[in-house]
Structure 1
Amino acid sequence: MAHLTQRSFVSLNIAVLTISDTRTFDTDTSGQTLVERLEGAGHVLIDRGLVMDDIYQIRARVSQWIADPQVQVILMTGGTGFTARDNTPQAVLPLLDKQVDGFGELFRQVSLAEIGMSTLQSRALAGMSNGVLVCCMPGSPGACRTAWDQILLSQLDSRTGPCNFVAHLKPQFEQALSACEARS
């Protein structure tokens, strides 16, 4: 199995999307937390966005990135709670080919030690779509740190064994183009 044999680091192209009715890029501490962590781990921020907590704005941006041959991972922060304006799960679920059930379960488990039973109100989720891993996290810097440090850092590292998500992602655009040219 290829996902068991990859042991050199592979830098991934990651897009970050913040869902908020009130934040701007200047005040987006959650999105910035994800950017700092992914770049610190050696990955590439391929794009960054901020949209209102509106199902159709969220779907439009995520769909654009899912179709983009360069985007391999989408990290989303915000809109996963229970208020009337928390629409991220409803927006994202129809776009997923497969849901990664363990992501939300594990996120709630590891955040239990940090925030107690309030973790029950998190609707964190993840899934795969068109070879892109889409991860939806709560909209606080602490939640983003928890998700990155406890789950995503290792699962987006090709050296993590026995398996990680890297083998399931679409190849980077340049790699795919080279493979096509080699076959021609």
Structure 2
Amino acid sequence: MGIRYYAYAFDADLAQQAVDDPHSILSSDPLADAWGMEPHASVSVATFEQTSPKHEMLYLDKSWSALQSLTQPQSGGTKVGSSHRMFEGHVTMHEMGWDPWVRTILPEEVPAIRDHLCAIDESRVRTWAQTWRSRHGADDEDELRYVLDFLRRAQEFVESLAADGRGMVYLIG
């Protein structure tokens, strides 16, 4: 199945809860939310339509690693206010699989992340893509469309969070 990215929005009054117990903000079955399946069903039909509203959940499939690379601060650069903060992290691998990476981003951090992420345009993505190659073997144009589509989704999500004064918890796993 692979390692995927899921983010869930939370209201500002839940910030302390999100810090203390980020899993309480996450769905118990994020893949079901993303793919339109019945949660925890042993047999289910996927509609491939996200069941959670787009302003409540961001699903980035496997594009998170490309977005992580795209937003990586240049050597000597700072992470403060960087959109990389919403993509950084790696699962912890072990003999039985992996443990996910989970991070809370507080409402007051979102505007700077939004500003940085929304400043990334197609031209910058095309320049970055000249040196980045997916491990999944897609051709360059398909890969570029894939990354641009999920970048736009991420931009829309953080714009919505900033407009509403909300934070997010994300999971890579």
Higher relative contact order (Cα pairs below 8 Å, separated by 6+ residues)? 2
TM-score scaled to structure 2, two decimals? Answer: 0.32
State the TM-score, normalized to the length of structure 1. Answer: 0.30
